[in-house]
């Protein structure tokens, strides 16, 4: 059931093992891991991803595989087969890794093991003893601080995050984080030396998210879905109650009373999907709100191409302020104007460029005003959106993101005692 493929003639002597508790055949957050590993592989690293899967066939895992051409050693994947159950599946995965990860380190002696701040951190405990005899360095990678921490599951997520950072502070060789702003936040909370924490952001494949390559397919999809002549506002990704989606539906309901041409198109999945469908049915706005199942990542640009504007209505609450929203970067790469809340996470990416229409809050009335503004300026949207690809090309290509991560990994001083590295100086 479990096997590892060890390269006979490595391209260089660097190997990176990445550990995640994601269900990699269904999670909407898997893209970052596949892209970062693929691009590290392009630079000559051996890469291996430990994760979970719930289906026998994982399907395509990188955009490179779909291109049919590859001139590098591709990432390897190790999946714990488990049916997803909240809390239980991640716990099983962590237990399996507690035995398998040390065994792999003894066998292959990788240079880096990168872990997320979740329950899988328990598998690092036996590895810490091995680190005295092996060259492997442990890195904690923080993509997000805990979100939706209500209830038992939320409390467990928050607990695992806190324990992970404390363990990394004392014993790990490095910590990386998604934005400079989040680095400052986490450093202050856990008394970390921010200068010793690396930053690498979300990224976008500019080859896949190339607007010129999707115009025709986007237009065809519009026609197929009966959206010709409609003004389409797109949200894609994870559906939950804290992301401003309910408020956007209410804004659409308000607008639909005087304008039936405006359509809110939701693409994705998540815990609130049934609630959203119930609201749409109750308000009788099925023609103005379309909820579409998630699609393979390679098809996401086609759906972005069919919209007039994207929307990222994250409310101004602590765990959204310092993120790096992947959907925002993908809209920009496709040359789309984005309606978005005026929070640091968004300002740090768009600044004052015309491709962003800021709203002061995620209240329905503010969202409605912004959508109406975009609607009345729809002839200008293409011109306004031209600055988006430029932003991505300068700051958020995967080549640039991987360079940031690689520079940090190579800068870690192996001679510094692990226990003294991350406290404030």
How many other β-carbons are positioned within 10 Å of the β-carbon of residue 212? 9
Asked whether the domain spanning 211-395 has the same topology as the one spanning 15-203+399-420, the reply is: yes
Q: Are strands 46-53 and 137-142 parallel, antiparallel or unpaired?
A: unpaired
Residue reference for tokens 């055949």: 25
- pLDDT for 62: 47
By the 8 A CB rule, do 65 and 37 touch? no
User: To 10 degrees, what angle do helices 180-190 and 151-171 make?
Assistant: 80
The DSSP code for 6 is -
Beta strands in 124-260 (DSSP E): 137-142, 174-177, 197-199, 231-238
Cross-strand pairs, 137: 112
- DSSP H stretches of helix in 27-150: 31-42, 63-67, 88-108, 124-130
CATH of domain 15-203+399-420: 3.40.50.2000
3-class DSSP state for residue 244? Answer: coil
How many other β-carbons are positioned within 10 Å of the β-carbon of residue 37? 24
- pLDDT for 254: 97
Cross-strand pairs, 199: 177
Rounded Cα–Cα distance for residues 110 and 363 (Å): 49
CA distances from residue 263 to 214, 231, 365 in whole angstroms, order as listed: 20, 6, 16
What pTM was estimated for this model as a whole? 0.87
Q: What is the pLDDT of residues 350-408, one digit of tens each?
A: 999 999 999 999 999 999 999 999 999 999 999 999 999 999 999 999 999 999 999 99
Domain layout of the chain by residue ranges: 15-203+399-420, 211-395
Closest among 388, 384, 314 to 349, alpha carbons compared: 388
Residue reference for tokens 């968004």: 346
CATH of domain 211-395: 3.40.50.2000
The DSSP code for 54 is S
Q: What is the pLDDT of residues 6-24, one digit of tens each?
A: 334 444 579 999 998 887 7
Rounded Cα–Cα distance for residues 204 and 401 (Å): 9
Q: Strands of 76-81's sheet, edge to edge?
A: 76-81, 46-53, 15-23, 112-115, 137-142, 174-177, 197-199
Residue numbers of the chain with a pLDDT score lower than 70: 1-12, 26-28, 55-71, 86, 413-425
């Amino acid at each position: 059931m479990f096997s590892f493929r060890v390269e006979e003639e490595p391209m260089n002597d660097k190997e990176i093992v990445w550990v995640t508790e994601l269900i990699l055949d269904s999670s909407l957050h898997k893209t970052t891991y596949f892209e970062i590993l693929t691009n590290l592989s392009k630079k000559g690293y051996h890469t291996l991803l430990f994760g979970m899967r719930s289906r026998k066939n994982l399907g395509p895992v990188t955009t490179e595989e779909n291109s049919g051409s590859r001139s590098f050693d591709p990432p390897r994947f190790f999946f714990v087969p488990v049916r997803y159950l909240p809390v239980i599946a991640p716990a099983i995965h962590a237990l399996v890794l507690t035995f398998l990860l040390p065994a792999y380190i003894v066998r292959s002696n990788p240079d880096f093991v990168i872990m997320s701040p979740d329950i899988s951190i328990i598998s690092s405990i036996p590895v810490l003893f091995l680190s005295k005899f092996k060259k492997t360095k442990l890195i904690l990678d923080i993509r997000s601080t805990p979100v939706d921490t209500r209830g038992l599951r939320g409390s467990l997520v928050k607990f695992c995050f806190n324990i992970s950072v404390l363990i990394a502070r004392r014993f790990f060789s490095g910590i990386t984080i998604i934005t400079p702003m989040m680095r400052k936040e986490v450093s202050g909370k856990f008394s970390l030396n921010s200068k010793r924490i690396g930053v690498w952001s979300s990224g976008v494949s500019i080859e896949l998210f190339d607007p010129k390559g999707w115009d025709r397919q986007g237009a065809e999809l519009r026609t197929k879905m009966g959206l010709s002549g409609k003004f389409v506002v797109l949200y894609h990704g994870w559906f939950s109650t804290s992301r401003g989606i309910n408020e956007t539906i209410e804004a659409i309901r308000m607008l639909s009373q005087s304008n039936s041409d405006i359509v809110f198109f939701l693409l994705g999945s998540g815990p609130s999907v049934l609630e959203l469908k119930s609201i749409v049915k109750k308000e009788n706005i099925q023609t103005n709100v379309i909820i579409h199942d998630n699609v393979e990542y390679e098809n996401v640009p086609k759906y972005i191409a069919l919209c007039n504007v994207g929307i990222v209505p994250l409310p101004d609450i602590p765990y959204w302020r310092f993120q790096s929203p992947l959907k925002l970067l993908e809209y920009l790469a496709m040359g789309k104007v984005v309606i978005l809340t005026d929070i640091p996470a968004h300002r740090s990416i768009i600044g004052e460029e015309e491709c962003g229409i800021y709203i002061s809050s995620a209240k329905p009335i503010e969202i409605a005003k912004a959508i109406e503004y975009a609607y009345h300026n729809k002839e200008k949207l293409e011109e306004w959106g031209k600055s988006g690809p430029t932003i991505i090309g300068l700051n958020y290509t995967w080549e640039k993101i991987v360079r940031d991560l690689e520079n940090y990994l190579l800068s870690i001083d192996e001679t510094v005692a692990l226990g003294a590295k991350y406290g404030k100086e």
